[in-house]
Structure 1
Amino acid sequence: MKDFCNWLDGQSKLVKVILCIWILDIVWAIYRIGGAIANKNWFHLILAILWVAMSCTVGWILDVVSILLTNHIFWFKE
């Protein structure tokens, strides 16, 4: 899972924004859940699971804005 997270972190800003689009945002949900599991952070895991429900409404918009401003999704840097 770390390889997947590192692969996503290494992508260009354009690819990251494309993966934030409404339906494709599931990729970032997997990234969040996988990162939380890899780091054994249960609090982040619970938040990541809750994020899946929110990503279909405003979560993907927060991700797009965050990537454009900081080149990282709207999430904790670990």
Structure 2
Amino acid sequence: MQQPYPSEPLSSRNWLTAVLLAFFLGVVGAHRFYVGKTGTAILMIVTCGGAGVWTLIDFIMLLLGNFRDAEGLPIKNQS
């Protein structure tokens, strides 16, 4: 059951868009560019997503709703 009012503000970024970017273009940090984390996105390009490990961790965190945007707001599935 979903609460009528979330306990903390949520990011304006779309959860599904971030998940799809992480799945298909995660190695180049596309999902991090999308949420405003440009510095770490560039590091993902240089390291090929931390040899895939960093990408996998981000993907799992997005699925669980623990990933945050550049402002520190959680990106969660709101449906």
Normalising by structure 2, report the TM-score. Answer: 0.46
Q: Relative to total residues, which structure has the larger helix share, 1 or 2?
A: 1
Normalising by structure 1, report the TM-score. Answer: 0.46
- Decide which structure has the larger Cα Rg and report it: 2
